[in-house]
Each structure stands twice: as structure tokens, then as C-alpha cells.
Copies of this chain bind each other. A is one copy, B any other.
């Protein structure tokens, strides 16, 4: 009875994996490129990517000897919806959203206008 939510929330609970997701916002990437900024073995990153894939948060496609990783943001939908059901807070408070973005994820500032 392992819920999909189990996998998604578990995947998101690790900061390395959240960083990977943020990185992948920019573009699809090979495993090696995903791993580059982290002070951690390639094998470790490979495991993290496996967990993200199990959760459906990314997909991977083999092309030649390189495996491309692609963000699958739709997978976050169910989890996001689940959380919103507790939404005593306004559905999306854009002010808070922007403040949070600049605080936590300065790298992707440009994205806040999506």
C-alpha cells in the first residue's frame, strides 16, 4: 500500500535532491553534469536520481552512453494538491512566494514571472 505520496515526500525530504530538482529547472542534464556541483561521489548522485525517478519527479532517457535527466514537475501535482487541502492559507500568496524565492532559491530568480 505504498502511496505515491510516500515516494514524493520522501524524495523531497533530502536537500541534495531538492537542489538537484532546482538545478534541473534550468535544463535537461546528463548525470555527470547533475553531479558536478556536489561534493559527493557520482554513485551517490546516481542513487539520488534513482529515488527522484522512483517518485516520478524526474525521467531519464539513455542516449548513447549518456543518460539525460529531465524534470517532471507534474509529479508534484498530487503532493501539492494534498498540501493545499490543508490550506488555511490563501491558495497562492504571491508576495510570500516571491520573498521565499529570493531567500531560498536565488539561482532561479528569473523564473518567478512564469
Residues of A within 8 A of B (CB): 1, 3, 5-6, 9-10, 12-15, 18, 21, 25, 71, 73-74, 76-89, 91-93, 96-97, 100-101, 104-105, 108, 111-112, 114
- Contact indicator B85/A105 (Cβ below 8 Å): yes
Instruction: State the majority secondary structure of interface residues on A.
Output: helix
How many copies of this protein are present in the complex?
Answer: 2
**A108, chain B: closest CB distance, angstroms:** 7
Q: List 23 A-B contacts (CB under 8 A).
A: A5-B15, A10-B10, A12-B83, A13-B13, A18-B82, A71-B86, A73-B88, A76-B86, A76-B89, A77-B93, A77-B96, A79-B83, A80-B87, A81-B97, A83-B83, A84-B92, A84-B97, A85-B97, A85-B101, A85-B105, A85-B108, A85-B111, A87-B114
